[in-house]
Every structure is written in structure tokens, then in C-alpha cells.
């Protein structure tokens, strides 16, 4: 006997197209329908290699698949709001970005992944093991009370004129996937002056320094990250004079009291003081640029653990004056892919927006913005 929920799910699908005629809704629901044929029992497979990941289990019941589709659709609507999602979707400028937006939203509503990201199937992903093999195992640096151990990597073997303390995953994403560039639209050009928000260990700053003769202004405030940042600069003396480190967190306003409870590279800041928190004083990009007489900013990168919105607001004048290319991480908060594109377009309507994703899990999604060059 067919249950009442199964009948309701059948009627929902039967009337779906007439109630949701937009291309966005049709594409999102088609993606959900594809997911309804299988489920994946693991909550996360971020540490697996592709050949090690268990297969998906097929759901053979037609009615169970229908109920699952409706449940996922309603959960997405409740979490984000379909109108807000569609508005954000339409802000992206190309088909790849829009497709990745759909994948990202679908995976955002569950603790596990419903669909695999494109990198999972890419030959590029297999190069991660080649990066790991570069490690000089004769030396190591321990951080965060032994939670992280980094080795030295001579990157000249992969065509990069650097030696770094780091780990294979970060090097793979930064240097092989070139995380903060998008096609030939958003990239570092020679002479660019760059804001490196969330500098962490200095790997991104040094990567930028190999691509431009301009200045890199890096923002990082966590003590152990700063110590490794300086170690990486000492390993690469030919670039360190073009990298300026500012040991303050970025915010919407300068001189605000902000607090951080250290959590390795994932440490975030808050305006609320909690037990064990360390106090810092914020700075905005706008104030930094004015106070230091910076003549131009050509590129802004933010990977600052959920403070991207505030940092963008603190860079309003800089963005409107210089119209820099942007690479802004959009995965730290559930609604980043709704809030951040909207804010970027409000700051500078001329921007064209793009999206890319650089792992097989839910991290390292980047929103890009650039003013299209006139031909």
C-alpha cells in the first residue's frame, strides 16, 4: 500500500514545473533528483583518496526517492530561501560558476556531501601524492602544541621558485590549482599591488610575489602563524622585501576590540570575549591604504575564517576607487554564497562574478570578481 507521504511527494513532483518555472529551480531540482538515486553512508570523505572512497548505495524504491527529493528541496528552501538563492545564482557570469553554485548549495545543507565536486574526478587531484613526495623529511616544524607538523618543500621541482615550510594539501591547492585565480579573468599581473587577507604561513604572499613586482600587504595576527610566516620569508629572501606583514585582524571598522581563541589555521575572531580569548585591535583596508599612502590596490584576497563580509565593508573606498580584482573565500558561513556576492555587487555594480571550488570536501570555495576589460 502506498503511504500518504509518498502520494504527497508524487503530487509535489507532478506539479513542480508549473509552480517553479525558472531555469534555476529546474536545474537545482534536476540535481536533487539525480542525488535521490543513491546515498553515501560516510559523513565525510575528505581524507580519502578517490580510489579508496566506498561506493554509493543505490536507493531502488521509487517512492523513497521521491520523498527524498522533496525533503532535500524543502530543507534547502528553509535554510536559504529560494528567492535569495536564485538572485545569487543569477549574479554569476558563466555556466561553470553557476553549476558549482548549485553543487555548493546542495552540499551546504547537510553535514555530508550529497554530490561529489568536479575535482574528485580530475587527473589533477592525483598530483597531490607528487607534492607529498617532495618533502624534505630531515627537518620539521611543529605548531599548535604538536597538532600540526610541517616539513620543508623545495618547490623548484614543480617549477616554482620557492622553498616552503608547509603541508602537501595547502601546497597543492595554492600552487597547482592556483586557488586565487580564475581562468584568465582574475589573476595576478606583473606590477599588481596585493592585499593578502588571512596570510597564515606566508605561502600565498610568496606565491603572489613570484608573479608580480608590486607590493604584497599581508594581514595575519596569530602568533604561531606569524612565526612560521617569518620562517618562510627567511627561506626566500629574494621576495621578502616586497611583502609587508600587518599583525592585526581585518574588520569593518578600525580599532575595534576583537577576540580570538586559537584554533590553528581555522582560528576566527569575534567581538565577544570568551574564556581563553586573546584581544586584538582591528584595522580596515581603507584606513591601512590611506595611513600608509598606498598609491593603488590591484588585487584583494580574503581567506579570514568568516570575517570576509566585515573586511569587504572595511574596504569599500578602496574597492570603489581602484576596482581591484577580488578572490574572496565563500565557505566559512552557510550563507556566504548569498551574502557575499550581493555585497560585492553593491560595492561595485560593474563587477562580473565567478565561482570555483578547490577540494573534494566543503572547503576552499572562492568567489572572484573583476571589471571586464573593454576590447
Whether residue 280 is predicted with pLDDT greater than 80 in this model: the reply is yes
Q: Give, as one character, the DSSP assignment of residue 174.
A: I
187-371, which class in CATH? alpha beta
> Using 50, 70 and 90 to split pLDDT, how confident is the model at 45?
very low
* pLDDT tops 70 at residue 42: no
Give the C-alpha separation, 244 to 6, whole Å.
61
Residues 6+ apart with CB under 8 A from 74: none
Give the pLDDT mean for 146-173.
92
Whole-prediction pTM value? 0.91
Instruction: Categorize the per-residue pLDDT at 54 as very low, low, confident or very high, splitting at 50, 70 and 90.
Output: low
* CB proximity list for 19: less than 8 A, separation 6 or greater: none
Supply the pLDDT for residue 57: 63
**Residue 7 reports pLDDT greater than 90:** no
Q: Are 216 and 244 in contact (CB under 8 A)?
A: yes
- What's the CA gap between 357 and 128, in Å, rounded? 16
Mean local confidence (pLDDT), 321-333 = 97
Q: Which residue has the higher pLDDT, 120 or 288?
A: 288
Q: Which pLDDT band holds residue 8 (cuts at 50, 70, 90)?
A: low
Query: How far is it, in rounded angstroms, from Cα 170 to Cα 365?
Result: 14
Intervals of CATH 3.40.50.150 along the chain: 187-371
Buried b (16+ CB within 10 A) or exposed e, 128-159: beebeebbeeeeebebeeeeeebbbbebeebe
Q: How far apart are the first and last CA of the chain?
A: 65
In the DSSP assignment, the letter for residue 176 is I
Residue 284's contacts (CB-CB under 8 Å, 6 or more residues apart) are 250, 251, 252, 253, 254, 311, 314, 315
Residues 113 and 361: beta-carbon distance below 8 Å: yes
Segment 245-264 shows an average pLDDT of 90
Which position has the higher pLDDT, 101 or 278?
A: 101
For residues 246 and 217, what is the distance between their CA atoms, to the nearest angstrom? 7
Please determine, for residue 317, whether its predicted confidence score (pLDDT) is greater than 90.
yes
Q: What backbone torsions phi and psi does residue 149 show, to the nearest 5 degrees?
A: -125, 125
Sequence-distant (≥ 6) Cβ neighbours of residue 150 within 8 angstroms? 140, 141, 142, 143, 165, 166, 167, 201, 228
Amino acid at each position: 500500500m502506498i503511504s500518504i507521504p509518498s502520494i504527497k511527494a508524487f503530487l509535489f513532483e507532478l506539479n513542480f514545473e508549473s509552480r517553479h518555472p525558472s531555469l534555476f529551480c529546474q536545474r537545482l531540482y534536476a540535481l536533487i533528483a539525480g542525488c535521490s538515486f543513491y546515498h553515501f553512508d560516510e559523513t565525510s570523505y575528505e581524507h580519502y583518496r578517490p580510489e579508496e572512497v566506498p561506493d554509493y548505495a543505490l536507493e531502488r524504491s521509487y517512492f523513497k526517492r521521491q520523498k527524498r527529493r522533496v525533503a532535500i528541496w524543502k530543507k534547502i528552501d528553509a535554510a536559504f530561501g529560494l528567492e535569495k538563492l536564485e538572485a545569487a545564482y543569477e549574479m554569476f557570469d558563466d555556466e561553470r560558476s553557476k553549476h558549482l553554485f548549485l553543487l555548493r548549495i546542495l552540499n551546504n545543507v547537510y553535514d555530508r556531501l550529497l554530490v561529489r565536486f568536479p575535482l574528485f574526478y580530475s587527473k589533477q587531484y592525483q598530483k597531490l601524492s607528487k607534492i607529498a613526495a617532495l618533502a624534505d623529511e630531515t627537518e620539521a616544524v611543529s605548531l599548535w602544541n604538536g597538532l600540526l607538523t610541517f616539513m620543508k618543500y623545495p618547490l623548484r621541482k614543480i617549477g616554482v621558485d620557492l622553498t616552503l615550510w608547509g603541508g602537501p594539501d595547502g601546497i597543492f591547492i595554492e600552487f597547482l590549482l592556483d586557488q586565487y585565480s580564475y581562468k584568465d579573468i582574475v589573476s595576478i599581473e606583473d606590477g599588481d599591488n596585493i592585499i593578502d587577507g588571512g596570510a597564515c604561513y606566508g605561502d600565498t604572499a610568496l606565491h603572489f610575489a613570484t608573479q608580480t613586482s608590486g607590493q604584497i600587504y599581508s594581514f595575519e595576527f596569530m602568533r604561531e602563524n606569524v612565526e612560521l610566516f617569518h620562517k618562510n620569508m627567511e627561506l626566500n629572501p629574494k621576495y621578502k622585501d616586497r611583502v609587508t606583514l600587518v599583525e592585526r585582524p581585518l574588520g569593518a571598522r578600525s580599532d575595534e576590540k576583537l577576540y580570538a581563541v586559537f584554533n590553528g589555521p581555522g582560528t576566527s575572531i569575534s567581538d565577544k570575549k570568551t574564556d581563553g580569548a586573546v584581544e586584538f585591535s582591528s584595522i580596515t583596508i581603507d584606513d591601512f591604504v590611506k595611513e600608509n599612502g598606498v598609491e593603488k590596490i590591484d588585487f584583494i584576497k580574503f581567506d579570514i575564517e568568516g570575517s570576509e563580509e566585515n573586511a569587504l565593508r572595511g574596504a569599500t573606498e578602496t574597492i570603489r576607487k581602484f576596482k581591484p580584482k577580488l578572490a574572496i573565500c565563500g565557505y566559512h558561513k552557510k550563507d556566504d554564497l548569498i551574502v557575499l556576492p550581493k555585497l560585492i555587487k553593491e560595492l561595485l555594480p560593474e563587477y562580473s562574478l565567478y565561482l570555483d571550488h578547490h577540494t573534494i570536501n566543503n572547503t576552499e570555495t572562492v568567489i572572484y570578481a573583476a571589471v571586464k576589460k573593454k576590447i
